Amino acid sequence: MFIGHYALGLGAKKVSPKPSLGTYIMAVSFLDLLWPLFLLLGIERVHIMPAAASPFERLEFIYYPYTHSLLMTVVWATLFAGVYYIIRRDSRVALLLWFGVASHWALDFIVHRPDLPLTPGSGVLVGLGVWDSAQATLIIEGVMFAAGIYFYLRATRAKDKTGIFAFWGLIAFILLAYASSLMGPPPPDTNMIGWFGLLGWLGVAWGYWANRHRESRVNK
């Protein structure tokens, strides 16, 4: 799942306006922000499948237990929430961010084929395989993303013109990245996948920028 993760980050602003949109985006995409680094370092591995029946299955995730196993997801979520709590001393928001990080594995479980390990070294791989149907995946993610935008706009308003352009520019960037991954040619090698994946950090930075030019519609 891709824009479905961002959908939860956008919608989370309606639950608690305190964290920046950049923080929410970082939380819900944290596993995918770590994965390119592990891939480039050769710690985790992926195969390119250019002839896959579904465009969502062009990548075969053959080994990624340190970023996408259930156990390590809990570890990363706890570390993320713990760092936020140390900095902000807000246990409620820290718990919300914990669920944000953990939601990534839950959503991936829905769409991935059985390739998600439960623990590093575990031979048990899980996944419901919704990606087998490109149409179902597009509908699910599209509805989620539209709902995320709706709730974000209900929770915030622009303070200036930059707040409008920065937000909608972020939405366009996310959708462009999504479309290019589906309709563009398959990547030539796994290193290119890793470097392209690091662009996810641009979305985080963009979220912080947009957030500085928007304000909450409700009391913090």
Would you list the domain boundaries of the chain?
3-216
Closest CA to 193 of 10, 20, 53, 45: 45
| pLDDT at position 188 | 86
Q: Residues of 63-77 as b/e, b for ≥16 C-beta within 10 angstroms?
A: bbbbbbbbbbbeebb
- Range 38-42 average pLDDT: 97
| pLDDT at position 218 | 73
Residues 96/12, Cβ–Cβ less than 8 Å: yes
Minimum mean pLDDT range among 32-41, 76-85, 132-141, 185-194 = 185-194
Cα dihedral sign, 192-195-197-199: negative
- pLDDT tens digits along 107-117: 999 999 999 99
What are all long-range contacts of 143-151, with beta carbons under 8 Å and residues at least 24 apart?
144/3, 144/4, 144/7, 144/8, 145/3, 145/4, 145/6, 145/7, 145/10, 145/174, 147/7, 147/11, 148/6, 148/7, 148/8, 148/9, 148/10, 148/11, 149/7, 149/10, 151/10, 151/11, 151/13, 151/14
What are all long-range contacts of 191-197, with beta carbons under 8 Å and residues at least 24 apart?
191/40, 193/36, 193/39, 193/46, 193/48, 193/59, 194/36, 194/37, 194/39, 194/40, 195/36, 195/40, 196/36, 197/32, 197/35, 197/36, 197/39
Identify the H or E element spanning 48: strand 45-48
Confidence at 219, pLDDT banded by 50, 70, 90: low
| pLDDT at position 80 | 98
Rg for the chain, CA atoms, rounded: 17
**Position 75, amino acid:** V
Supply the mean pLDDT for the chain.
95
Within its chain, how far is the Cα of 104 from the centroid? 6
| pLDDT at position 186 | 81
Q: Is 167 exposed, middle or buried (0-12, 13-18, 19+ CB in 10 A)?
A: buried
